[in-house]
Structure 1
Amino acid sequence: MSEKIKILIADDHQLIIEGILSNLKGIDGLEVETASSCDQAFSKIKAQRNQEPFHILFTDLSFDNTTENSQLDGGEALIKAIKQEELNIKVGVITGHTETNRVYNVIHNLNPSAYILKSNCNTSELNFAIQKMLAGEVYYTHEIHQKLLKRALIEIQMDEIAIQILKELPKHAKINNMEGVIKKSDGSPLKIRSIESKLAKLRTDLNAINNTDLVLKAKELGILD
């Protein structure tokens, strides 16, 4: 890198910040600052937007140090504020959150340039992510990429009947009670044998051990609220 790349790290845990800083020391050409809250990070980015602006922000999603006086209560709010202000900075997430639904919502709604997990964050991965981000590309750590791929495949396999069954399943103590409740596209009721067959396929697709686990997996994937 011929010029210094300015990076801001936002996290409320000092040990995490120190760990990221240690990894970044192995990368040449960086100038790194830190912020312990989203409000502080946002203020720093805005204060330097016209003179020596930050090129990249790495932020966590959850911040435990927010109070009723905080303007921004977490990483999602910080990213939204940056987009609303149209600040010219690449944003990456470094977090411990691996829940498929949250991962999907963050990436789908906020479109960060990177999503990295704290558990396997290292110098090599950070260097690769930074290069990708500066080139206008995105980088998602392998586990996150796999989660997004699995969700996409599941969504392709889902049809209206499957969604109906998953929504009704927690409401009925017995599968037989669902007969007459699940409707085909023409309005006719689905027979119990067809419901059971669909449930068996859903359990296989979502790798669920039983119907209770099936509902939990569907919620984790964001198929159910």
Structure 2
Amino acid sequence: MQKLKILMVDDHPIIIEGYMNVLMATKAEDQELSIDTANNCDMAEIMINRAAKDVHYDLCFFDISLPPSQDGKYTSGEDLAKLAKSMLPDSKIIILTMFNESFRIHNIIREINPDGFLIKSDLTSMELADAFQHILKSPPYYSSTVHNYVKQTLTSEIYVDDINRKILYLLSQGIKTKSLLDHISLSMSAIEKRKKQLKLLFSVEDGKDETLLAMAKEKGFI
């Protein structure tokens, strides 16, 4: 009997219930599934740290859009996926998201290199079942939208690193630029330079932070 321990993280309980029902109904006869769930970053962090000390998860499913942790350390499923890769190096990481912009997809692949990457609008019950078995045996598995974007040659690849994502998150929480020094170990000139780069990256023509945040949110970075 193949006993598989799974973590599913999504802030919509009905979606998690759907995933669980599909996997339980389509698992192989010799597979036994034990599934833990979390609906926010704080709960997921606790479960990942606990698993690192006990029985590791075989697979971890992460939605990208999640309520951030109370301390602001983890702001998305991307952050949790990185934590899981560090704490649970033998676990297979699967990303599920509504975001389907090409640069967002490439950014996730570059930062996380997940074993599975599924766009929710691509998913059917059968594809989720097939993806699950494929990832167990021969990762990676990309749903059709991800696969098509990966094949494309982009003229420019947008890449937002951890520090830039933290700047965007803090600004979105109302933190003023001058106060970013309290949260980020950079000089003010370095922070200002990164903000200018972000505005160029997101084609912010009016130079306003509000426009930057609106564009970043639209593209799924906040």
Task: State the TM-score, normalizing by the size of structure 2.
Answer: 0.62
Match of 2:16 in 1: 17
Q: Paired residue for 1:56, among 43, 59, 73? A: 59
Q: Distance in 1 between matches of 2:114 and 2:102?
A: 16
Task: Tell me the matched-pair count.
Answer: 157
Map 1:1-225 onto structure 2 (within 5 A): 2-28=1-27, 29=31, 30-63=33-66, 65-66=67-68, 68-85=70-87, 87-150=89-152, 152=153, 154-155=154-155
Q: Distance in 2 between matches of 1:101 and 1:82?
A: 23
Check the 8 A contact 1:27/1:127 in 2, yes or no: yes
Partner SS for 1:26: helix
Match of 2:175 in 1: none
Q: Tell me which amino acid in the other structure corresponds to 1:37.
A: N
Q: Distance in 2 between matches of 1:43 and 1:138?
A: 27
RMSD of Structure 2 on Structure 1 (CA): 2.6
Q: Is the radius of gyration larger for structure 1 or structure 2?
A: 1
The Cα of 1:24 is off from its aligned counterpart by: 1.7
The Cα of 1:15 is off from its aligned counterpart by: 2.0
Q: What are the superposed Cα offsets for residues 24-80 of structure 1, whole Å, 9 maximum, x if unpaired?
A: 2222222212111123223212212343321000111111x2254343110111112
The Cα of 1:119 is off from its aligned counterpart by: 2.2
Give me the identity figure in percent: 29
The Cα of 1:130 is off from its aligned counterpart by: 2.1
Partner SS for 2:25: coil
Check the 8 A contact 2:116/2:131 in 1, yes or no: yes
Partner SS for 2:73: coil
Check the 8 A contact 2:9/2:63 in 1, yes or no: yes
The Cα of 1:5 is off from its aligned counterpart by: 1.2
Q: Distance in 2 between matches of 1:99 and 1:141?
A: 14
Q: Tell me which amino acid in the other structure corresponds to 1:55.
A: D
Check the 8 A contact 1:23/1:122 in 2, yes or no: no
Q: Distance in 2 between matches of 1:7 and 1:37?
A: 16
The Cα of 1:136 is off from its aligned counterpart by: 4.6
Check the 8 A contact 2:4/2:34 in 1, yes or no: yes
User: Structure 1 pair 45/67, CA: closer, same or farther in 2 (3 Å)?
Assistant: closer
Partner SS for 1:109: helix
Check the 8 A contact 1:94/1:115 in 2, yes or no: yes
Q: Distance in 1 between matches of 2:60 and 2:83?
A: 13
Q: What are the superposed Cα offsets for residues 69-128 of structure 1, whole Å, 9 maximum, x if unpaired?
A: 343110111112223335321100111110111111001221011111222323322232
Check the 8 A contact 1:103/1:144 in 2, yes or no: yes
Check the 8 A contact 1:60/1:95 in 2, yes or no: yes
Check the 8 A contact 1:113/1:137 in 2, yes or no: yes
* Gap regions ≥5 residues in structure 1: 157-166, 171-219, 221-225
User: Structure 1 pair 71/111, CA: closer, same or farther in 2 (3 Å)?
Assistant: same
* Gap regions ≥5 residues in structure 2: 157-199, 204-218
